[in-house]
Amino acid sequence: MLEIKGLHVSVQGSVILNGLDLTVPEGEVHAIMGPNGSGKSTLSYTMAGREGYVATDGQILYRGVNLLKMSPEDRAREGMFMAFQYPVEIPGVSVLYFLKAALNAHRKHRGEKEVDAIEFLKLARSNADTLGMDHEMLNRQVNMGFSGGEKKRCEILQMAILQPQLLVLDETDSGLDIDALKVVAKGVNNLRSENRTILLITHYQRLLSHVVPDKVHVLSGGRIVASGGKDLALTLERKGYAEFSTEAA
């Protein structure tokens, strides 16, 4: 279970999250929707432990442990994965090499044997196949010269290989054509299980018709201002965020 309690976060001195409370039980998929500047990305960066995102108050408890007390890499190794809104380019490093290094860091942390190159290649290819991706992507440099859609697919591939327990997808659906959107949805749906907790942070309802959430929350002014079932997303799509924004203000 993920429990965020009274979370206050400042970025460069300005308060972005302002007493955010959120509970996501194990096995559920929750969507967080909100207008631009409501603090969606701040929430995901804070959960992942990015420098400069200062939690001034509150807790992020995952399975009873406060993530805020852990280094970013330890959060990742303990099973937290963030799909980036803007995946980062790493010149000269192949997707295959990058992912193998990441997977082995996880395995080492769990006290498991590291995978060798051949074993890993098999694993990576079979995951690419499942998601309907070209093997060629594995040999390309991480996110270099990738189209927007390719970058997001690559995030999903990484997610599939690392098999995280707590998933945060930060606007992974933005700017995608329908094919790429389906790959993202498939990747998330494949990982849906009793012991996983999934948070979809999004601006639009679009992804939610492919990955149906158990609950939808509205983030505005740095806190959750409304929660409901999957229909709430449709309401938002029709009416916009205006009424929630005023409420928060």
Partner 1 sequence: MATDTDTLAATQRLVDSEYGYGFVTEVEEDRAPKGLNEGVVRYISAKKEEPQWLLDWRLRAFRAWEERYLPAGDPTWAKLRYPPINYQDAFYYAAPKSQADRPRSLDEVDPELLKTYDKLGIPLHEREVLAGVAVDAVFDSVSVATTYKAALAEKGIIFCAMSEAVREHSDLVKKYLGTVVPYSDNSFATLNSAVFSDGTFVYVPPGVRCPMELSTYFRINAENTGQFERTLVIADKGSYVSYLEGCTAPMRDENQLHAAVVELVALDDAEIKYSTVQNWYPGNKHGEGGIYNFVTKRGACRGRNSKISWTQVETGSAITWKYPSCILQGDNSVGEFYSVAVTNNYQQADTGTKMIHIGANTRSTIISKSISAGHAQNTYRGLVRIQPRAHSARNFTQCDGLLLGDRCGAHTVPYIEVKNSGARVEHEASTSRISDDQLFYCMQRGLGAEDGVNLIVNGFCKVVFQSLPMEFAVEAQKLLEVSLEGSIG
Query: Measured from the CB of residue 99, what is the shortest distance to partner 1 in angstroms?
Result: 8
- The one-letter amino acid code at 200 reads L
Query: Measured from the CB of residue 195, what is the shortest distance to partner 1 in angstroms?
Result: 19
Indicate the residue among 73 and 129 with the shorter CB distance to partner 1: 73
Indicate the residue among 51 and 194 with the shorter CB distance to partner 1: 51
Task: Write out the residues near partner 1 by the rule CB under 8 A.
Answer: 48-51, 71-73, 76-77, 81-82, 84, 87-93, 97-99, 101-102, 105-106, 109, 141, 158, 162
Distance CA 4, CA 220 (A): 16
User: What pairing do the DSSP bridges indicate for beta strands 53-62 and 65-66?
Assistant: antiparallel
- The torsion angle over the Cα atoms of residues 8, 37, 169 and 143, rounded to 10 degrees, is -120
Query: Measured from the CB of residue 97, what is the shortest distance to partner 1 in angstroms?
Result: 8
Indicate the residue among 117 and 249 with the shorter CB distance to partner 1: 117
Indicate the residue among 106 and 217 with the shorter CB distance to partner 1: 106
Query: Measured from the CB of residue 16, what is the shortest distance to partner 1 in angstroms?
Result: 17
Residue 59 φ/ψ, nearest 5 degrees:
-140, 150
Query: What burial class does residue 112 get, using C-beta atoms within 10 Å of its C-beta: 0-12 exposed, 13-18 middle, 19+ buried?
Result: exposed
